[in-house]
Amino acid sequence: MAKRKRRQRYNGPDLTEHVDLNPGDKFEIILGEINDAGDTGTEIDGAPVVVSGGLPGELVIAEVQKRFPERIAAKVAQVLEPAAERVEPECKYFLTCSGCQWQHVAYDHQLTLKRERVQREIDKYENLSHVVVDTTVESEKRLGYRNHGRFTIGKYEDTGQVGYKNMVTHQFVRIDECLLMDDKINETIDLVQDRMEGQTQMSIRVGSSTDSMLVQPRMDISGVNLVTGEKHYEEEVRGSRFRVAASSFFQVNTGQLSRAVDEVRELLDLDGSEVMVDAYCGVGVFAVLISPYLKRVIGIEESASAIEDAGLNMNGVTNVDFIEGKTEHVLAEWAEDDEVDVLLLDPPRVGCHPDVLDSVKKLKPKKVLMVSCEPEAMARDLDLLCDGGMYKLEILRPVDMFPQTRHVETISMLTLQESQD
pLDDT in tens, the chain (421 residues): 444 455 568 888 999 999 999 999 999 999 999 999 999 999 999 999 999 999 999 999 999 999 999 999 999 999 999 999 999 999 999 999 988 999 999 999 999 999 999 999 999 999 999 999 999 999 999 999 999 999 999 999 999 999 999 999 999 999 999 999 999 999 999 999 999 999 999 999 999 999 899 999 999 988 899 999 999 999 999 999 999 999 999 999 999 999 999 999 999 999 999 999 999 999 999 999 999 999 999 999 999 999 999 999 998 999 999 999 999 999 999 866 678 999 999 999 999 999 999 999 999 999 999 999 999 999 999 999 999 999 999 999 999 999 999 999 999 999 999 766 5
Burial class (CB in 10 A: 0-12, 13-18, 19+), 315: middle
Task: Report the C-alpha gap between 94 and 100 in whole angstroms.
Answer: 7
Task: Report the C-alpha gap between 247 and 231 in whole angstroms.
Answer: 8
Residue of 325, 212, 319 lying closest to 276 (CA atoms): 319
Q: pTM score, two decimals?
A: 0.93
Paired sense of beta strands 162-165 and 148-153, if any: antiparallel
Task: Report the C-alpha gap between 196 and 161 in whole angstroms.
Answer: 6
